[in-house]
Amino acid sequence: MVHVAQDLSEIIENFNMLDDWEDRYRYLIELGRDLEPLDEAAHNDHNKVRGCASQVWVKSSLVRDDEGLARLELRGDSDAHIVRGLVALVFALYSGQTCQAILDIDAQKLFESLGLSAHLTPQRSNGVRSMVERIKNDARGALTGG
């Protein structure tokens, strides 16, 4: 399994090395291009994230690690390049984490530290919040057996 924290720290480091926002947006687009493809069958209503201006799909799978802890593996896609990059960033933060850790991690802090909170349109910010809430709801459901 890919070590998510290493990927996230690399993303943060790369993002912080870029001086202007045009380069940062290009980097987000590049992250989206590197996102593992979501199969066509998963582009369905069940996986669609409500509250996003662009179309976004998130598919979460519950896996148990060697210690029996429940973790969420995330796959997803978007029809918009920058949003697909935001999906990749959110997945770097949450995918492979335990369900409890997902509930404890504050994505807003990451977006603020990268300056994204101030540079995303309100629609994109709402979409990111919807995506994060969807992932947290999946984690809650996994923890409660629902």
> Could you tell me what percent of the chain has a pLDDT over 90?
78
Query: In terms of C-beta distances under 8 Å and separation of at least 24 residues, what long-range contacts does 53-56 make, across chains too?
Result: 53/123, 53/124, 53/126, 53/127, 54/78, 54/79, 54/80, 54/83, 54/127, 55/79, 55/80, 56/83, 56/87, 56/127, 56/130, 56/131
Residue 4, both tokens: 């998510």
pLDDT at 93: 95
The DSSP call for residue 75 is E
Q: How confident is the model at residue 11 (pLDDT cuts 50, 70, 90)?
A: very high
Instruction: Write the pLDDT tens digit of every residue in 92-125.
Output: 999 999 999 999 999 999 999 999 989 998 889 9
Q: Give the predicted TM-score (pTM) of the model.
A: 0.91
Residue 49, both tokens: 């994230």
Domain that holds residue 136: 4-144
Distance CA 66, CA 15 (A): 33
pLDDT at 37: 87
CATH code of 59's domain: 3.90.1010.10
Cite the active site residues.
52
Instruction: Write the pLDDT tens digit of every residue in 53-97.
Output: 899 999 999 998 888 888 999 999 999 999 999 999 999 999 999
Q: Are the beta carbons of 60 and 135 closer than 8 angstroms?
A: yes
Does residue 73 sit in helix, strand or coil? strand
Domain count, the chain: 1
Q: Are the beta carbons of 108 and 118 closer than 8 angstroms?
A: no
Distance CA 123, CA 137 (A): 21
Q: How confident is the model at residue 1 (pLDDT cuts 50, 70, 90)?
A: very low
